[in-house]
A and B are shown apart, each in its own frame.
Chain A
Amino acid sequence: DQQVKQNSPSLSVQEGRISILNCDYTNSMFDYFLWYKKYPAEGPTFLISISSIKDKNEDGRFTVFLNKSAKHLSLHIVPSQPGDSAVYFCAASAGTGANNLFFGTGTRLTVIP
C-alpha cells in the first residue's frame, strides 16, 4: 500500500540536458510535497517543496510541478550537472507541519559528463 510511488527506479541524462523525475500519489489528503536528494552513505537532504495551493515552485535549477487532478508531481532539473547524480525521493504529507512523511521508493539519477 505504497501511497507515494516513483515508478522509474533509475534515469540517465547527459550533462546539460533536462532531468525529469516523476512521482504519483494516491491519498487525496496529501497537500504538501517535498523532494529529497540522497547521496550514498548519507541521509536525505531537502531539495524543494510545493504546497497544493500552487502548481509550480522554482528554486534555481530545480522546478517542481504539481498536477492535483492527476495526483502527479514532477521534478525538473535544468541544466543537469554530474553533481546531481544521486537518489531522489518524493515525499508527501497532510499538512506542512504533519509528523508523518510518506516517501516514494526513489529514483537514481545519473548525469553523464
Chain B
Amino acid sequence: NAGVTQTPKFRILKIGQSMTLQCTQDMNHNYMYWYRQDPGMGLKLIYYSVGAGITDKGEVPNGYNVSRSTTEDFPLRLELAAPSQTSVYFCASRLRQGLSTAHFGNGTRLTVT
C-alpha cells in the first residue's frame, strides 16, 4: 500500500525556471492538499482539492498552480521559480470524514538559486 507518493524527492531550480511537483495517492481519497514548510516554520496550505476538477486556494497560493484531472493525482506547478519558493513541499490526502484521516507524502525538498 503506497499511500501518498511525491516525486521528485529533491530538486534544484534556477530562478525563472518552471517545474511540476507530482503527487499521487492510491487510497481513493477525494480530498488532496499541498503544503509548504519553510525552515523553522509550520506547514502552510498552498492549494487544495475536494475532488476531480475542483481546486481552491489556501493560505499561500501565489506563484503556484494546480490541477486535478483524476482522483489519484494532484500536481503542483511552479511557473517562474523564485528564491522565496525554496521550501519543503508536502502533499496530503484524506477522506471526506475528517482531518485526522489525512496521510502525508514524504515531501519534495526544493531549492531555488
Q: Does A97 contact B (CB under 8 A)?
A: yes
Q: How far is the CA of A9 from the CA of B40 in the complex (A)?
A: 9
Q: How does the 8 Å CB contact mask read for A58-101 relative to B, with 1 for contact and 0 for none?
A: 00000000000000000000000000000001010100111111
Whether A100 and B58, one on each chain, are in contact in the complex, defined by CB atoms closer than 8 angstroms, is yes
Q: How far is the CA of A89 from the CA of B48 in the complex (A)?
A: 20
CB-CB under 8 A from A44, the residues of chain B are 43, 90, 104
- Which residues of B does A touch, CB under 8 Å? 4, 31, 33, 40-45, 48, 50, 56, 58-59, 90, 92, 96-107
Whether B99 and A49, one on each chain, are in contact in the complex, defined by CB atoms closer than 8 angstroms, is yes
- A104-B104 contact in complex given A44-B90, A49-B99, C-beta closer than 8 Å: no
- Which residues of A does B touch, CB under 8 Å? 2, 4, 9, 32, 34, 41-46, 49, 89, 91, 93, 96-106
The listed residue with most B CB atoms (<10 A of its CB), out of A2, A41, A101, is: A101
A68 to chain B, nearest CB (A): 19
Whether B42 and A106, one on each chain, are in contact in the complex, defined by CB atoms closer than 8 angstroms, is yes
Nearest 3 pairs between A and B by C-beta? A43-B104, A103-B42, A103-B43
Q: How far is the CA of A34 from the CA of B44 in the complex (A)?
A: 15
CB-CB under 8 A from A102, the residues of chain B are 42
11 further A-B pairs in the complex, CB-CB below 8 A; given A34-B100, A97-B96, A105-B42: A4-B42, A41-B107, A43-B4, A43-B106, A46-B100, A46-B102, A49-B99, A89-B43, A91-B43, A101-B43, A105-B40
